[in-house]
Amino acid sequence: MRLLHILLAIVLASTSFGAEQTSFGTDWPTDTPDRTESLKSRLVRMETAIRSGTFKKVGSVLIARHGKLIYEAYFDGDADTLRDTRSATKSITSALVGLAISEGSLASTQVRILDVVPDRAQRIQNADPRKSAISVEDFLTMSSPLECDDWNDASRGNEERMYLVEDWSQFVLDLPIRGRSHLGNEVEAPPFGRFFSYCTGGVFVLSEVIENTTRIRADRYAQARLFGPLGIRNVTWVYSPTNTPQTGGGLRMTSRDLLKIVQLYLDGGRWHGRQVLDEAWVRTSTQAHAQIDDHTKYGYLWWLKSFASRAKSYPAFYMSGNGGNKAVGVPSLDIAVVITSTNYNTHGMHEQTEQLLTDYILDAVVAAD
C-alpha cells in the first residue's frame, strides 16, 4: 500500500467518529497487581531489546488474558495514539459481513457479488461467465478467479494500480480472469478447493456490498453495530476518491481498541456479557477455508497459524498488516496480543513481530502458568 499512503493527502479523505457514540463497557478490566507485575518482570528483557533498537519501530505491545488486560507498554505514542492497522482492517470487514448476515441484510456468504452491485454488472469489462459466479465468500477467502495478486508487482489487479484510478470497485470487477498453467492433463485440486491470491481490491468491493445490502455506509455500519457496543469511540477511516470507506486497509484505531476485536473473537462474539457477533460466525471465520503455505491457512479474512514456544505449538488466529502489525488470539492460552509496528514495506517486518510473540510474550505467559 505504498502508493496509497503517499497519495493520501491528495486523493483520499478521512473521518473520525466522536465520543457521542453510545457504548457498553468501554474499559478493559485489569488483573490483580501481583499477576500483572509478575508478567511485566518477565518481559523486561523484551522491553530492553525494543528500547535498545534490537527490535525496530515497535509502537506498542498489549496482552490480555482471561478477558483482563495484564500487560500494556508503549514505545511510540501512548494509549490514545491511533495506530495505522493497514491490512489488519480486513478482519474487521469480516466481522461487518457477519453482522450483515446475522441481521438478515445479506442472505449468506454465497450471495453473488454482481447480484448486489447490478449497476456495475451492466458495464463490466472483460466479461466472463465466471465473474457472475464470484461470491462474497470468494472475497472473504482471497480466492476469487480475478487476476488480482498484491504479492505480485506485475499483477493487473495489484492494489498499487487500483489507487491510480478513481473508481476502485469498477477497477476490481473489470479485471480479467486469471489463468493457471499446469503440467499434464490433470489439475491437482488445491487444499480446501480454493486457490489463494492476496487481493485487497476484492475486500474493498465488500464495502459496497455492505452498503448496498444494509443501506448504511460501511464506516457508519461499523460504528453502530460493532464499535459502539465495544466502546470504541475514536477511529479514522481511509476513503476512496468516490468517498467509499476502504474496508481493505488503513483504519486507524488505538491499541486497546484493536485488542478488543481479538478478545471479542476469543469470547465467541461476546463483550462484557453481550453477544455482539454471532458465535457461529466467529467459529466459521477462524477456521481454515484456504491454504497459503505449508504453515499458514486463511479463514474469512483472518490468518491462521501455530506459534511455538517452550517446545509446544499453539494454534492462533490473527489480524495482520503491513509494518509488522499483528493482533493475535491464542485460544488454548486464552490470550489476546496486539503488537503495533511501523516497519512498512520492510523485509523481515512480520518475522520480527513473530519473534516478539514467540520468544518473549508466549514464553512469559507459559512460564507464568
- Quick: pLDDT tens for 75-119: 999 999 999 989 999 999 999 999 999 999 999 999 999 999 999
Please give the class, per CATH, of domain 25-178+191-368.
alpha beta
Contacts of 109 (CB under 8 A, 6+ apart): 97, 101, 135, 136, 137, 140, 300
Question: 242 vs 20, which has greater pLDDT?
Answer: 242
pLDDT at 203: 98
Work out the average pLDDT over 47-69: 97
Cell numbers for 25, please give them: 463497557
How many helices (H) and strands (E) in the chain? 18, 12
Closest to 116 measured CA to CA, from 139, 94, 95: 139
- Quick: pLDDT tens for 159-216: 999 999 999 999 999 999 998 776 788 778 899 999 999 999 999 999 999 999 999 9
The span from the CA of 352 to the CA of 331, in Å, is: 22
- Quick: pLDDT tens for 301-350: 999 999 999 889 999 999 999 999 999 999 999 999 999 999 999 999 99
Entry pTM: 0.92
- Quick: pLDDT tens for 222-238: 999 999 999 999 999 99
